[in-house]
A and B are shown apart, each in its own frame.
Chain A
Amino acid sequence: MLRYILRRVLESIPTLLLIVTIAFALLHAAPGGPFAADKAMLPEIRHSIEARYHLDEPLWRQYLRYLGDLAHGDLGPSFQYRNTSVNQLIAAGLPVDLTVGLSAIVLALLAGIPIGLNAAWRRHTLWDRLPMGLAVAGISLPVFVVAPLLVLVFAVKLHWLPAGDWVHGSPSHLLLPVAALALPYVAYVARIVRGSALEVLNTSFIRTAHAKGLPAHRILLHHTLRPTLAPVVSFLGPTTAGIVTISIVVETVFGLPGIGRFFVTGALNRDYTLVLGITILYGTLIILFNLLADLCYAWLDPRVRLE
């Protein structure tokens, strides 16, 4: 187990390096630079701005310079936010995304697993049809529709909850964003769990146990749960990384100062360092959560051998 983890950690280094290189190439291949703007700017002046950020150097030199800084943990200055470094931007925004994102994942699991299990156990009854019907609605209603609707209903009309904003340690400000973010994932988890549980419940082992009179909750909890969760874990690995960094719509609608927005607007504004920094963060989280997911998977399904 330890050797496996160590091996994966070592593998992550060339993986991250590859990610950085591809991202770097893609960003510089896109036309336009960070300082091209819709105003009067003589070419010489644009050039001196670019020179300040070493953008006039040949690409390979910029690349090596970036890697050198990266080795010191310096993600560079942001080209859009010229007084703020990428490290500062990420340090400011990441806790917000982590809080909202992880809460949403936890909610998705806490709600989705029981719903899915129940639906599988009582398949084709109301306990199955209704939640699954709502689940599909949850998936097909895009978050940029659900989120403003939630604000409209709960904040503007009812005044129960704040309409947005980020206040440290205030659960009422978390409720709506987490709900909006978690909704499709509750649905995903419920459907995957139902599908997976159906297969497990159909095995001869379970059917024998049921025939022998084992009570439902024992069957579900002790025998069905672990194998059922396997595909959920596989799915959640990268999803968690994504939900944590790229929930841009929720951030925008609720005015949360996360880094998801920076990722998209950074790319559109050619803020190379900011996008690269977030890419590295995202890549690290992906690798980390995939590793955790794989470890979980091995624990859930003893037949799986980690090599």
Chain B
Amino acid sequence: MIRLAVVSGKGGTGKTVITSALSQMLPNYYLLADCDVDAANLGLLLAPKRIHREPFHGMNTAVIDPDLCTLCGKCSEFCRFRAVDHNKEGFSISNIRCEGCGVCAFVCPEGAISFTSRIAGEIFLSDSAAGPLVDAMLVPGAGNSGLLVHEVKKIALAQDRKWEIFLVDGPPGIGCPLISTLTGVDAVLIVTEPSISGLHDLKRVVKVAMNYTTQISIVINRYDIDESMTELISEWCSDKGFPLIGKIPFDPWIIDSVRNCRPVTRIDTAPGARAIQEMADVLYRSVGVK
């Protein structure tokens, strides 16, 4: 099984549209995971049927027992995450800021602090026409997105390994959710756009991706919005030796298909769809899919 992640650095370049299209190119081929757990959108396009759901527990967080607390303030003094709030009613822990390290409980002379498990999200296993999909929903404002990405991948990889391609829709950025996404992948497709921000962010995500794989391909989405920026990005790719495997034109038809909650498929004939199909062929050949 080939593990392929679609990432971008910059948000909104078209990762999900391209991932969903890639999942339509070969029949019965895919195991899918949406690792953009902050804002998971792949499921909106694949119309999955949920077959299993399970709660995601983030780190346990601290709770102060007001009956035992003597207001000494040691917890607040030692907490590095500014998670201890102090007001007229006494000390309390902010669920949002607490990273569950346990220091407050260790320094509390009264043993007034304990840890409770909290549900930080939910993980779903679904059937879709392309293959099984694992995605998740983080409780808005909850932390631990890197940990949830890890869990999503773990549950996906616990499925039957008969699927040829493990296709992962990644998060934007270069921090913990991305690093968690890239751990263990064989190949990465980076989706960029012809803007000064797109190029800047591409350079950063490439630098991180190179720590995980040498198989990095790049595609420029909406390339005709600014052909001179596209030229600049193409030059950068060839300078650095990264294969630019496709240029997808801006195509209102693709926006329409998103609005209708359907992925681009192999039989679609619009210019944007055709460009995605050609890019997919090059990509699949390069990672060794027959």
A-B complex is real: no
Which of B's residues lie within 8 Å of A, judged by CB?
none
